Amino acid sequence: MVGSAITFGEYLTGYYLPTRPLADGSAKQLAVAAGLCTVPLVEITERQLAERLKAHARTHAAATTNSRRRALLTLWRAAADDGLTSPPRARLIPTQPEPRRTPQAWRASEVSRILEAAGLPQPDKPFHKFRASNASYTEANGGDAQQQLGHSSRAVTQRYLDPRITRNRRDVLPELDI
């Protein structure tokens, strides 16, 4: 294949994966990204790749497009290291602006670790208990627990709310600006 006009996908399967052990998920991510660009490596330009990623961003989340960009740049750099093409100038391939994300809730293992370090008892389902408590206090203070939890139905949210907290609306916490 050296000297031939191979694509990202052909490089991935013929060169990259045989010499670099990767987890299946990582190999799949690289394969999906490689499928975005069928131009031979020796002919690809930063502008072409930027245009393909821009088109990708019209139908995919910015984080997904940026992930594909990173994967393609990884393959391109590796192909350049193997002498198959010139290295990319990554600064010419812009990233997509990503919205600020709301932090994900703690994993149960992290909550358990914190409770253990504090010498507190371990609930059966700490994540759900914290989620329910947070939703209940939000609702009691006049906030929208349904929106906070991301539920499409108020009935689902009601199952999370603790009536001992929510029935004492506004007497539970000081006023929050939410």
Q: What is the pLDDT of residues 43-64, one digit of tens each?
A: 989 999 999 999 999 998 888 8
Question: What's the whole-model pTM score?
Answer: 0.56
Tell me the domains of the chain and their CATH numbers: 8-92 (1.10.150), 108-166 (no CATH)
**For residue 61, what are the CA distances in angstroms to 55, 64, 68, 97?**
12, 5, 11, 10
Count CB atoms within 10 A of the CB of residue 87: 12
Question: For the segment 96-149, what is each residue's pLDDT rounded down to a tens digit?
Answer: 888 765 445 556 677 777 778 888 887 776 667 778 888 888 888 888 888 887
